[in-house]
Amino acid sequence: MKRILVLFAHPRLRRSRIQRALADAVRDMEGVTFHDLYEAYPDFYINVPREQELLAQHDIIICQHPFYWYSTPAILKQWEDLVLEHGWAYGQGGTALCDKWWMHVMSTGGSAETYCCAGQNRYTIRQLLAPLEQTAMLCGMTFLPPLVVHSSFRISDLELHEHARQYRLLLQKLRDGQLTAADLLGADTLNLEL
């Protein structure tokens, strides 16, 4: 059984429909540590040793967050800046995260179609995630394709429910080792067909 750490970041959870539903779907799963960063560090004062210990204790790191300005909410960036220390996460002797898996679970306002060179957002999700992907690579981690909930303002409750169900299913399979990296790496996203 693999241990999964969900690094959750939403600054205003009470007013979020999508992220709350997704979070509720996996929050209490066995083998999953759900870690709400804004709740843990309301003042952005991140406890680095504690975070590093958490990372060391888990095999799969999942960043769950809304897609803000083509990136993560601020606290996740702060977290990266402080926790992924040189000599620990990368560089000489920095092997703490080697061979762990890294993955993003995100929601975007725009539809899937807008994320292409002809669309309004001009780049694909994978292109936009390049800095994060490279961060994972530098730390020796395997960067899995993201799970993306698009059109977050428009999807129906039913669709949202389905997304949440699939998210939970995906974590179950990852946890129980039913998916290998090879199964996953080819895909653009891990969104299953609705």
Partner 1 sequence: MHLESFLAQAFIYLLAAVVSVPVAKRLGMGSVLGYLIAGALIGPFAMGFIGKEGQDVMHFAEFGVVMMLFLVGLELQPKLLWRLRGPVLGMGGAQVLGTGAVIALAGWAMQYPGKQAIAAGLILAMSSTAIALQSLAEKGLMKTNAGQSSFAILLFQDLAVIPLLAVLPLLSSHAAKPEAEHAHGHGFAENLPGWQQALLTFGAVALIVGGGRYLIRPIFRYIAKTQLREMFTATALLLVVGTALLMQAVGLSAALGTFLAGVVLAESEFRHELESDLEPFKGLLLGIFFIAVGASIDFALVASQPGEIALWIAGMVLLKGIVLFLVARFSGLCLPESLLMACALSQGGEFCFVLFSVAQSGGALPGALANKLTAVVALSMAVTPILLLIYEKLLHPRLQKRENEREADAIPETDNPVLIAGYGRFGHIVGRLLAVNGIESTVLDLDSEQVDFLRRMGMKLFYGDASRLDLLHSAGAAKAKLFILAIDDEEKSLKIIETVKHQFPHLTILARASGRLHAYEMVRRGAHYIYRETLGSSLDLGTEALRLLGIPAHEAHHAAKKFRDFDEGNIRCMAEVWFEHKDGDEYVNAARDQIAEMEKLFAVDAEVRERPTDEAWDTESLRREALGEEDSAPNS
Closer to partner 1 by CB, 9 or 103: give it: 9
Least distance to partner 1 from the beta carbon of 149, Å? 8
Q: How far is CA 159 from the centre of its chain?
A: 20
Closer to partner 1 by CB, 38 or 101: give it: 38
Closer to partner 1 by CB, 114 or 135: give it: 114
Contact 9, 35 (CB under 8 A): no
Alpha carbon distance 91, 187 (integer Å): 29
Least distance to partner 1 from the beta carbon of 152, Å? 5
Least distance to partner 1 from the beta carbon of 13, Å? 6
Closer to partner 1 by CB, 118 or 182: give it: 118
Least distance to partner 1 from the beta carbon of 18, Å? 7
Give the residues lining the site for partner 1 (CB under 8 A): 11-16, 18, 36, 38-43, 66-70, 106-111, 114, 120-121, 151-154
